[in-house]
Amino acid sequence: MEAVLCVVLLAALVIVQGQVPALWRCPDVPVQGNFSLTSYLGTWYEYERFFAVYEIGAECAQANYSMKANGHVRVLNSGTGRSIEGDAYAPDPSEPAKLLVKFFWWQRPGNYWVVETDYSNYSVVYSCVDLYFMHLDTAWLLTRTRDGIPDDMKNDIYGRLTAYGINTSNFKKTKQTGC
């Protein structure tokens, strides 16, 4: 009975927080220095992502970020046949690239860490949750156009992410044609 309860709790956590299980603790991943939220706002297209239960079958995925009157960020994620609105904010103003985001009132906020961005072409977002002897992580490679980025730029990004301990083989391309 205890084993079943553990499996159910782990499955619930995977659905709500992280998506790809891996051994040991979350890697120590740096975030974008001198992050400018104002420059980051606008529309981003999901070029690649780690597996996430809540994105099964998602195509033409995009996110639009805009400022709210309370200083938080309105997050509007949409794609073929779906749309969800969330709220994001940086709990520590000295680390503005480490945002928390939530989409449901009952949900614990999840990490939305902007690892790196050039604001006009790409952004890498990472989230990780530690669980005793393992962690659950997810990541997104976002681009400003549906066409994505050149392979050489992607390969440079992958090299840096690998050095941070992020397993880039978990990235899968998001369909952005016929949108």
- Domains of the chain, by residue range, sit at 20-173
Tell me which CATH code domain 20-173 carries. 2.40.128.20
The kind and range of the H/E element at 153 are: helix 151-164
- With beta carbons less than 8 A apart as the criterion, state whether 108 and 16 touch: yes
Has residue 17 got a pLDDT over 50?
no
pLDDT tens digits along 67-126: 999 999 999 999 998 999 999 999 999 999 999 999 999 999 999 999 999 999 999 999
CA distance 11 to 99: 24
Determine the distance from the C-alpha atom of residue 122 to the mean position of all C-alpha atoms in its chain, rounded to a whole number. 13
**Which band of pLDDT confidence, cut at 50, 70 and 90, is reported for residue 21?**
low
Band (pLDDT 50/70/90 cuts) for residue 55 is confident
CA distance 60 to 174: 7
pLDDT tens profile 109-146: 999 999 999 999 999 999 998 888 888 899 999 999 99
